[in-house]
Amino acid sequence: GENVEQHPSTLSVQEGDSAVIKCTYSDSASNYFPWYKQELGKGPQLIIDIRSNVGEKKDQRIAVTLNKTAKHFSLHITETQPEDSAVYFCAASRTGDKIIFGKGTRLHILP
């Protein structure tokens, strides 16, 4: 079955700097890669997703890149702000199958 590894487990960046979270997956048939943000006391919320026919996707300060050959994908957050502090999860799935989550990255934005 699919296995998703996520690094780092904790990340601290100065406000205004960029943050990068990396994930690898094991199943070459995986073709859907969402990212979720979980704030304290709330459920995970989808922030961006990418499908395997696209190498990069951007939405304002958030971007995701996908390298199918290497089986890894990354989340990039630019110009970080205090409200970006949260736990971020990457995930992967193949057509018709369940979504498998990484173990999460706790992002701290330092003032």
Partner 1 sequence: DTAVSQTPKYLVTQMGNDKSIKCEQNLGHDTMYWYKQDSKKFLKIMFSYNNKELIINETVPNRFSPKSPDKAHLNLHINSLELGDSAVYFCASGTGPNSPLHFGNGTRLTVT
Residues at the site binding partner 1, with contacts judged by CB under 8 A? 31-32, 34, 36, 38, 41-46, 49, 87, 89, 93-99, 101, 103-104, 106
Are 74 and 20 a contacting pair, CB within 8 Å?
yes
Cis peptide before 8 (omega within 30 of 0): yes
Smallest distance, Å, CB 25 to partner 1? 14
Smallest distance, Å, CB 45 to partner 1? 7
- Cβ proximity to partner 1: between 11 and 99 the closer is 99
- Cβ proximity to partner 1: between 20 and 99 the closer is 99
- Cβ proximity to partner 1: between 4 and 109 the closer is 4
Smallest distance, Å, CB 59 to partner 1? 14
Longest Cα–Cα distance in the chain: 43
Nearest Cα to 48, choosing from 34, 67, 60, 30?
Answer: 34
User: CB 5: neighbour CB atoms within 10 A?
Assistant: 13
